[in-house]
A and B are shown apart, each in its own frame.
Chain A
Amino acid sequence: MQTTDVICASVVTIKEFIAMSEAAVKPLTEHSPEEIEKVQNWINTEEYKEQNFAREALVINPAHACQPLGAQMVAHGFEGALPFVHGSQGCASYFRSTFSRHFREPASATSDAMTEDGAVFGGQNNLFEGLENAYTVYKPKMIPVYTTCMPEVIGDDLNAYIKNAKQKDLIPEDLPTPYANTPSFKGSHIHGYDSMLLAILKDLTVGQKVEGKCTGKLNLIPGFDGNTGNLREYKKYLEAMDIPYTMLADITDVFDSVCDGTYRMYAGGTKLEDAADTINGKATISLMKHCSPHTMKWIDSEYSGSKDILPLPMGIRKTDDFLMKLSELFDKPIPAALKAERGRAVDAMTDAHQYIHGKKFAIAGDPDYLLGIVSFLLEMGAVPYHILCSRSTKKFQKELQALLDTSPLYGSQGKIYINKDLWHMRSLCMTDPVDGIIGDTHCKWVARDAKIPHFRIGFPIMDRVNIHRTPVIGYQGAINFLTVIVNKFLDTVDETCEDQWFEMMR
């Protein structure tokens, strides 16, 4: 027996050796032009689409990010808050870079830089040192903590760790340190947004509820929105209607800050005392349902005043609904100036409808944005055709389908794809062409291959300037978005038509 074993072992070794030396040196290979052309054509076919849609394990070009990114956006949105990543430092650098690329603004956030020993012993020591240093150097008014994969996998107990840090006097007992578990292997950035917002509100409102008190204010949750122009537009409406408000996770002045020769690390954000007082508010509205389910559920049980979840006000009708809801809640009339703005938006839409009516669009994005974009396109008589959300639920699919169903003529042609990615979208646009694609920067590859215009909306937009400053919600947003789309179509006609079709007027 022993001899056989030895022989077997040596046989295996020789086999392996031969395999290795066979693999060791092969000549360089080159694809022939025919081969390349064949594949180049093949990836645009129905057959390829089928194989592409049969994927079960591989994700290619997803149109969503991970939870802590969303948590960080919320954390940036409070006055004097220093976002704090519990986990690998590389994650913090990725989030910061992503925000800076999109907004072209600083995104100061720190991390406790867990490494291998943290993986073995847990991250408490890192958190201790990190909190003490961050507090001492940057003097924040609040340190919102959120996690990356690493502490989530090893099961760090943030609640205990933070308590211990305070007990050891590393940071003041009264420094707000809300924390959220934001594992990257669950949900997407919008879920991290929800978790962090909930954690901050729970923390800041402790002991703040006063029976019978009413601030008379509206609490507004804008949701994960990379468009600071949208947030300014909400404020414009509220101010026009003379409604006092607290915008929660208000990134307006954080990510659209001035350049005047002074760098302010803590520019803007919701004031902490205002956030604390939201629990006594007159009304709370979330404008992004899918970014705030847990937060709104909690608010529903804890806050006084009315609670409403409204759709992102894109297009005329949803803006009408928003303003009418505000009017109803605060018993204030919608001012003539806003009615006139509505009139101008409708004027712009009727003037331009002929250039967009019946055009088919591919759309990719977060659930709330998708609902808004589809709603606007239907109002224009355009066709939302391939609608893709790379991380969502059947429930959302139903909700979006119901919206499409409201428009038998334009909505019935649309098909919704959930948990599919932008490589699926490529196949859709190559086999069943559309006139344009709407989505964040990542959609540019599909647009190029399908030779269709790309209308940038959403997050992140890293290849154009100032789009985040131009609102796409409300009446003005409708005008803005419409103008971009229609003029691009007209530019294309002028740039590509033959001479005899080149005209003075369009």
Chain B
Amino acid sequence: MAERKPIKGITKERVEQLIEETLAVLPEKAKKKREPHLGANEPEASTCAVKSNKKVVPGVMSQRGCAYAGAKGVVWGPIRDVIHVSHGPVGCGVYSWGTRRNLMQGIPGVTSFPIDFTSDFQERDIVYGGDIKLEKLLREADGLFPLNKGLSVLSECPVGLIGDDINSVAKKMSKELDKFVIPCNCEGFRGVSQSLGHHISNDSIRDHVIGKREFKEEAGPYDIALIGDYNIGGDVWAAIPILEEIGLNVKATWTGDGEIEKIAATNTVKLNLIHCYRSMNYMCKVMEEKWGIPWIEYNFFGPTKIEESLRAIAERFDAKIKKNVEKVIKKYKPKMQAVLDEYRPRLEGKTAMLFVGGLRPRHTVGAYEDLGIKITGTGYEFAHQDDYDRTSPEMAKGTLIYDDVSEFELEKFVEELKPDMVGSGIKEKYVFQKAGVPFRQMHSWDYSGPYHGYDGFEIFARDIDMAINSPTWDLVKAPF
């Protein structure tokens, strides 16, 4: 991949100076902690110099969530036919109920469960422990929702602190109900961000789910699984048709609109396609080690990356798939060209800054570039070194890279680099909109979507154009 051209006005010197000025307000100790997490991009370096996956610096207003959020919101929550129990006090389940947009098929309350199940811990549960209550509520849940295919138990902070043993309750109840009952020790205080919640959830899939079911039909040469697509705004539903069109058989989706038994039987597929590397690479590696299933990262944001990815996927299969891929690419060219013709003239030369989680700070870069928009800064809430190493080559030299950026840092960066748009989360959104900076929520697609695949790009392009070119921005300054 060719290195990107430098962006006018964005240089290493300027960016480093900006970082220095920004951090100057911090006390010495905090400054020392934050410094390694901010830097100017060096695409040619073998590893990204920006440090990551360290504890939040207290008090600076990080945007991070917790391990429970990573488990409930990200990995487990989207599995549609499982009852996900938020085990602990009432709040966590309420705040994470329906707030990620991981859409699912099924009949709610019958075959799918976009519902907040909680043990609603009271003081007596803290004092006496919640294991007996858990056992009882799992029975009640199974009785009231008999078509569930399993139950997950997602621990909140107090559960780990009071020493409850959800694992043995789960084991007992799994036997009694003859269903998956999966314990997940994802207490919010574990680890430094959502990321450990992903890892713990992956481990619980490894220990309690994978390999426990088998597909009735014979395994075929084109069987694949879609890993790390959470169906935000219907992303999975935009991605599957493309894969089917090129001749692949999508046997399971992890975990957007997911079904637990299909997930459990994934160990017979020929290839795992992983979109969000951060949250699901663990299970790809497990399946590779245990069953020899290779995996490949792909990117379905924007036509350039879709084409690149489809060709890379085709490389793993025979001539038939390769031929199909070229056919599909050719088929969608005119549709994509029409999108570009419509929006690119209005967006060419604009700049944007991103701060999201998972895969988006690097994976969406190509889609913006397809529209003629340059990314001047990007960063992750909860990434690790391997994410940043994958990010560096996608960004122009000297652009600003920020890890776990705090509110005042991002505010200052945006103030200085003046992007035409910021793509980040709900907590950041209104800060920038008040300042008159166009913004899109890029965790939830701002209640729009899908953004994956060819269909998704059309919507993405419309949304970005709408954000940047809305006439409402012209009204922000009063004429008097």
A residues contacting B by CB (< 8 A) are 19, 23-29, 31, 35-36, 39-40, 43, 48, 51-52, 55-62, 64-66, 68-69, 84, 87-91, 93-98, 100-101, 104-116, 118-119, 126-127, 129-138, 148-150, 153-154, 183-186, 188, 257-264, 391, 423, 426, 442, 445, 449, 462
CB within 8 Å of A: which of B65-119? 65-69, 85, 88-97, 99, 107-111, 115-119
Q: A93-B65, A115-B191, A126-B58 are in contact. Are A43 and B110 (CB under 8 A)?
A: yes
Interface residue total, chain B, C-beta cutoff 8 A: 99
Contact A25 B213 (CB under 8 A): yes
Beta-carbon contact of A91 and B66 below 8 Å: yes
Bound CA span A110–B58, Å? 8
Contact of B213 with A27 in the complex, beta carbons under 8 Å: yes
Residues in chain B near residue A64, CB distance under 8 A: 90, 94
* Residue B137 at the chain A interface, CB threshold 8 Å: yes
A65-B94, A68-B91, A115-B191 given. 18 additional CB < 8 A pairs? A35-B147, A36-B147, A40-B107, A56-B140, A60-B118, A64-B94, A90-B65, A97-B95, A106-B431, A108-B407, A130-B59, A131-B59, A132-B30, A149-B161, A183-B123, A186-B122, A257-B434, A449-B108
- Is the CB–CB distance between B146 and A57 below 8 Å? no
Q: Flag if A138 contacts B265 (CB, 8 Å).
A: no
Q: Give Cα A106–Cα B439 distance, bound, in whole angstroms.
A: 13
| Chain A, residue nearest B86 (CB) | A59
> How many Å from the CB of B224 to the closest CB on chain A?
17
Interchain CB contact (< 8 A) of A58 among B141, B262, B477: B141
| Residues of chain B within 8 A of A449, CB atoms compared | 108-109
CB <8 Å contact, B147 and A149: no
Whether B59 pairs with A28 at a CB distance below 8 angstroms is: no
Q: How far is the CA of A31 from the CA of B145 in the complex (A)?
A: 13
Contact across chains for A66 and B27 when beta carbons are under 8 A apart: no
Closest to A66 in B: B91
Give the shortest distance, in Å, between A440 (CB) and chain B (any CB).
11
> What chain B residues lie within 8 Å of A40 (beta carbons)?
107, 110
Residue in A24, A25, A58, A262 whose CB lies within 8 Å of B117: A58
For residue B61, which residues in chain A have a CB less than 8 angstroms away from its CB? 108-110, 134, 137-138
The segment from B228-236, B422-430, B453-461 found at the interface with A is B422-430
Q: Which of B163-180 contact A (CB under 8 A)?
A: 175
**Residue B56 CB within 8 A of the other chain:** yes
Q: What are 26 sample pairs from A and B whose C-beta atoms fall under 8 A apart? A: A24-B211, A31-B111, A39-B146, A39-B147, A60-B144, A62-B94, A65-B91, A90-B69, A100-B426, A106-B434, A107-B427, A111-B56, A113-B64, A115-B191, A130-B59, A134-B60, A136-B26, A138-B61, A148-B157, A149-B157, A185-B121, A260-B436, A261-B477, A391-B90, A442-B97, A449-B109
Report the minimal beta-carbon distance from A393 to chain B, rounded to whole angstroms: 13
Contact B144 A51 (CB under 8 A): yes
Collect the chain A residues with CB atoms within 8 Å of residue B68's CB: 90
**B429 contact from A56, A95, A100, A131, Cβ within 8 A:** A100
Q: Is the CB of A129 within 8 A of B59?
A: yes
Q: By the criterion CB–CB under 8 Å, are B59 and A423 in contact? A: no
Whole-angstrom distance between the alpha carbons of A126 and B63 in the complex?
A: 17
> CB-CB < 8 A to B96: which residues of A?
94
The closest CB in chain A to the CB of B406 belongs to A137
Is B188 within 8 A of A186, CB to CB?
no
Shortest CB-to-CB span from A486 to chain B, Å, is 28
Q: Give the contacting residue for A89; candidates B66, B216, B429; CB below 8 A.
A: B66
In the complex the two chains form, what is the Cα distance from A56 to B125 in whole Å? 13
Of B64, B116, B408, the contact of A93 (CB 8 Å cutoff): B64
Query: Please, which residues of chain B bring their CB within 8 A of the CB of A115?
Result: 55, 189-192
Partner of B62, one of A89, A135, A183, A423: A89
Known contacts A36-B147, A133-B60; is-contact A185 B427 (Cβ 8 Å): no
Is B57 an interface position by the 8 A CB rule? yes
B2 within 8 A of A: no
Give chain A residues whose Cβ lies under 8 Å from the Cβ of B116. Answer: 60-62
